[in-house]
Structure 1
Amino acid sequence: MTDSYELLPDTRRALLHRLATGQVEGRTPALVGAVMREGRMVWSAGWGAVDGDVPGADTQYRIGSITKTFVAVLVMRLRDEGLLDLDDRLGAYVETPEGGDATIAQLLSHTSGLAAETGGPWWERTDGALRPELADLFGARAQRHAPGLLHHYSNVGFALLGALVERLRGQDWYEVLRREVLEPLGMHRTTLEPQAPHARGWAVHPWADVLLPEPAVDTGRMAPAGQLWSTAADLCRFAAFLLDGDDRVLGARSLAEMRTPRTEPQDADRAAAYGLGTLLSWRSGRFLHGHVGTMPGFVGTLWISAEDGVAAVVLGNATSQLGIPAIAADLVGTVAEREPRIPVPWRPLDDVDGRLLELTGPWYWGAAPFALRLAGGRELRLAPLGDGGRAARFRAEEDGTWTGLDGYYAGETLSVVRGEGGAVSHLDIGTFVFTREPYEAGEAVPGGVDAGGWR
């Protein structure tokens, strides 16, 4: 039997062709790509040269705003430890002249209303020593929109989240990241400053095949917005974590929360959204989550398809190679389409609670038929029997209720209502009543049922 992790030769060639074509068409000095499947890197390649050699999965590149997803993981850890609530105002924890009225969730989702950039000069090319204090980050109009009004991408907002981590941990944000995330995940080549072998950042002349070196400065207070350097191999490890979670770092439930859309960016095509420190994109009918990163001389993308169990990383060292997100999406699509995920074998539940089993089967919302099924982990799945209707999965809670995970019922509570003697009377999902018969006679249906019955 073929190793389930090994890619077929034709797939590997197609991946290399896409990477090489992207490097040539984008005129990028050195491009690296990698694919993660089912938790491990299964392919990597480089095209071009770094210091005369073909770059590899261990060559460092600056990853820009992919850094933000790492910072978001730190904030979610603080939340899960009970040290903060995402709806808390930042000002409850951090003394800042601007942004204090925004909630932590608004900062994570770029809905704080803060300006996109610092008050000047251009922070990505300016020594961070010029901004040692938070107050130095803000210009005359730091608050461009009311908090929560709309999505407005803010690098400054993530500088504030880095300060939040430092305030609650009592240590520099990167040291916290190294100890709590990078070391447990084995990401030893993800660093604050470049470590050899690493690519140099270049600007490529728009009308000639010549290069200009870009500066690589320490951005200081702005570092949580885009400072990190990493490798394709390390980002594949990070992708595996973002997909399945790791109890040493952050659980799968919190990671799923990070990739739940919070807002649509103000882009014309509306093909993207933003979660909590996570960029979301719909490409060729596939839902991807991850992040895109740019810094002077560098651009990179990490995309993950949870449905396919596949992720792709592409890193390049050119300032304006903006085609890299599409290359990464194509790498994901190549593997997912040529070698679709083989499902795990179906197995019956190890044990079953009779009180849950009796909930399964047909239910009716008014006269519309639905089916309720029991899955692993006490999960309930509601699906319409026929055209239309709202399907949803429900997660079991400790108090005996279930919380909706999808669509219209996301976040809503499913309660089982029992009558005298403990027999199930009906289901209540946010006041929507489901009965065992269409408009079942009795007291369950709001507004009552006509005494004459069906006719």
Structure 2
Amino acid sequence: MTTPREDLLPSTRRALLHRVATAQAEGRSPSLVAAVARDGELVWAGGRSMVDGHEPDENVQYRIGSITKTFTAVLVMRLRDEGVLDLGDPLEKHLPGTGAGEATIAELLAHTGGLAAETPGEWWERTPGTTRPELVDVLGEEPFKHPVGRLHHYSNPGYTLLGSLVEALRGAPWEDVLRREVLEPLGLSRTSAQPQAPHAGGWAVHPWADVMMPEPVEDLGLMAPAGQLWSTTADLVRFGHFLVTGDDRVLGADSVREMRTPSAPLPTGEWDRAYGLGVDLLRWERGSLAGHGGSLPGFLAALWVSEVDGVAAVALANCTSGPPIAALAVDLVKIVADAEPRIPEPWRPLPEVDQKVLELAGPWYWGTQVLVLRLTADGGVELGPLSGAGRQARFRPNGDGTWTGLNGYYAGELLKAVRRPDGSVSHLDLGSFVFTRKPYDEGAPVPGGVDPQGWRGF
């Protein structure tokens, strides 16, 4: 069954179904479900094969593995926004005695804490969490594999530490905190730490024969914040929208934007990728995608969302290996974004404008490079090259005639207009860079001065 949505064209819906059906058949997955949302609204959902005798839909739970980490990261960012901790704090400050306390909270979020990828001992995903009752059982005697802060090295134990940090600072189990502070406010009623009917069972499919064997479904114990959750495609596309827009009941737009900001580049590979704070990032021709993948024995999961297109896609399968689930979710985003690009909002003039800001609009020069400053509808400004590639950034107003950079090279940098005694604008100062109305304006304090002979031929 495919849920029909009038918002998408029949040709787009068929292309989505064809892509999902091909992935399920060629990947030999016992079942596979997918969904697409646009601007937070579910516009398509489809399922292939059977779960408990029925074709699965957007409300059937699958285990989502490491997508759980993004939920855990949201909890940590909430603690930061409340002032309970700083991302630059060493873990030891808030969770002493772990043996891994020199790593900062930000480094643990970005997988740059130098910790091992996995726990010592048995394959933790296929053994009961009760076999790892203490953090030392998760970290081992030598938890570090790399110098702290020097390398992106994906670490499941790192997110165990973050989950334990949440529990220590909230005084409640991770699962309870997640439900109260994230799942319930966002309306994710079909996301849970334990499976709730209807849900898929996990299977291993024989690599050389069309036969299957059930996989064990273990409670991960202390490792739960790294991979415990079950969810549905409907819940996850809603969560993907939250990762773009934020929700003041959980995390504001600035904080989720921070999560989506690259903090750790990944080694060069098949995709041009980076990692933010609990969020995987993929750069592609339309801008960037944010999300996460996940796997546990018997399950595969992927969530990707495109901010520029307002499109989120989720794909879930109940097999240990088979369909390339991350690539499938990316393709679903592309199908909708390419076939039905977002209709721009109608242009409207600003309701009001500060004349002192308006006079800053137009071309400015950094040396001989021309850039343009534009006013934005939200009261901010944008600064970027007149044409072609180059440094560009959006800036939010600070309420005192200055602006703070939100992205790119100038993220966090202060932009201000420097005025002469008569009130006229001399130049713009951006993190010590001087931007003038003319190339090397002799009337502005250009560092190094301006040759008194001015411009001449050669």
| TM range, smaller chain | over 0.9
What residue is the counterpart of 1:430 in the other structure? 431
Cα distance in structure 2, aligned partners of 1:91 and 1:139? 17
Structure 1 residue 443: Cα displacement = 5.0
Structure 1 residue 345: Cα displacement = 1.1
What residue is the counterpart of 1:195 in the other structure? 196
Q: Secondary structure at the match of 2:429?
A: strand
- Structure 1 pair 337–102 and aligned structure 2 pair: CA distance change class (3 A): same
Opposite residue 176 of structure 2, the aligned amino acid is E
Q: How does 1:256-295 map to 2 (within 5 A)?
A: 256-269=257-270, 271-283=272-284, 286-295=287-296
What residue is the counterpart of 1:363 in the other structure? 364
CA root-mean-square deviation: 1.7
Unaligned runs of 5+ in 1: none
Structure 1 residue 269: Cα displacement = 3.4
Q: Is the 1:152–1:266 contact (alpha carbons within 8 Å) kept by the matching residues of 2?
A: no
Q: Is the 1:264–1:270 contact (alpha carbons within 8 Å) kept by the matching residues of 2?
A: no
Q: Is the 1:37–1:309 contact (alpha carbons within 8 Å) kept by the matching residues of 2?
A: yes
Q: How does 1:62-101 map to 2 (within 5 A)?
A: 62-101=63-102
Q: Is the 2:271–2:282 contact (alpha carbons within 8 Å) kept by the matching residues of 1?
A: no
Structure 1 residue 156: Cα displacement = 0.3
Structure 1 residue 401: Cα displacement = 2.4
Cα distance in structure 2, aligned partners of 1:384 and 1:124? 50
Q: How does 1:394-433 map to 2 (within 5 A)?
A: 394-433=395-434
What residue is the counterpart of 1:237 in the other structure? 238
Residue 96 of structure 2 is aligned to residue 116 of structure 1: no
Opposite residue 326 of structure 1, the aligned amino acid is A
- More displaced 10-residue stretch of structure 1: 401-410 or 373-382: 401-410
What do residues 287-308 of structure 1 show as CA deviations (whole Å, max 9, x unaligned)? Answer: 2110000001000000001111
Opposite residue 164 of structure 1, the aligned amino acid is L
Residue 374 of structure 2 is aligned to residue 373 of structure 1: yes
- Structure 1 pair 150–322 and aligned structure 2 pair: CA distance change class (3 A): farther
Structure 1 residue 423: Cα displacement = 2.5
Cα distance in structure 1, aligned partners of 2:384 and 2:6? 33
TM-score by length of 1: 0.96
The count of residues paired between Structure 1 and Structure 2 equals: 453
- More displaced 10-residue stretch of structure 1: 411-420 or 162-171: 411-420
What residue is the counterpart of 1:39 in the other structure? 40
Cα distance in structure 1, aligned partners of 2:387 and 2:327? 37
Structure 1 residue 283: Cα displacement = 4.4
What residue is the counterpart of 2:157 in the other structure? 156
Q: Is the 1:442–1:448 contact (alpha carbons within 8 Å) kept by the matching residues of 2?
A: no
Q: Is the 2:436–2:444 contact (alpha carbons within 8 Å) kept by the matching residues of 1?
A: no
Q: Secondary structure at the match of 1:14?
A: helix
Q: Is the 2:23–2:323 contact (alpha carbons within 8 Å) kept by the matching residues of 1?
A: no
Q: Secondary structure at the match of 2:264?
A: coil
Q: Secondary structure at the match of 1:451?
A: coil
Opposite residue 196 of structure 1, the aligned amino acid is A
Cα distance in structure 1, aligned partners of 2:276 and 2:285? 20
- Structure 1 pair 322–286 and aligned structure 2 pair: CA distance change class (3 A): farther
Unaligned runs of 5+ in 2: none
Cα distance in structure 2, aligned partners of 1:16 and 1:388? 37
- More displaced 10-residue stretch of structure 1: 61-70 or 321-330: 321-330
Q: How does 1:275-354 map to 2 (within 5 A)?
A: 275-283=276-284, 286-354=287-355
What do residues 348-372 of structure 1 show as CA deviations (whole Å, max 9, x unaligned)? Answer: 1121112211211221112222221
Q: Secondary structure at the match of 1:376?
A: coil
- Structure 1 pair 286–402 and aligned structure 2 pair: CA distance change class (3 A): closer
Cα distance in structure 2, aligned partners of 1:398 and 1:211? 63
Structure 1 residue 453: Cα displacement = 2.2
Structure 1 residue 391: Cα displacement = 2.2
Cα distance in structure 2, aligned partners of 1:398 and 1:114? 42
What residue is the counterpart of 2:208 in the other structure? 207
Opposite residue 379 of structure 2, the aligned amino acid is R
Cα distance in structure 2, aligned partners of 1:283 and 1:366? 32
Cα distance in structure 2, aligned partners of 1:177 and 1:40? 23
Cα distance in structure 2, aligned partners of 1:452 and 1:114? 60
Opposite residue 302 of structure 1, the aligned amino acid is L
Cα distance in structure 2, aligned partners of 1:136 and 1:400? 54
What residue is the counterpart of 2:221 in the other structure? 220
- Structure 1 pair 156–398 and aligned structure 2 pair: CA distance change class (3 A): farther
Cα distance in structure 2, aligned partners of 1:307 and 1:332? 11
Cα distance in structure 1, aligned partners of 2:32 and 2:113? 35
4+ runs deviating over 6 angstroms: none
What residue is the counterpart of 1:166 in the other structure? 167
What residue is the counterpart of 1:184 in the other structure? 185
Structure 1 residue 38: Cα displacement = 1.3
Cα distance in structure 2, aligned partners of 1:196 and 1:121? 30
Cα distance in structure 2, aligned partners of 1:23 and 1:389? 42
Structure 1 residue 412: Cα displacement = 2.1
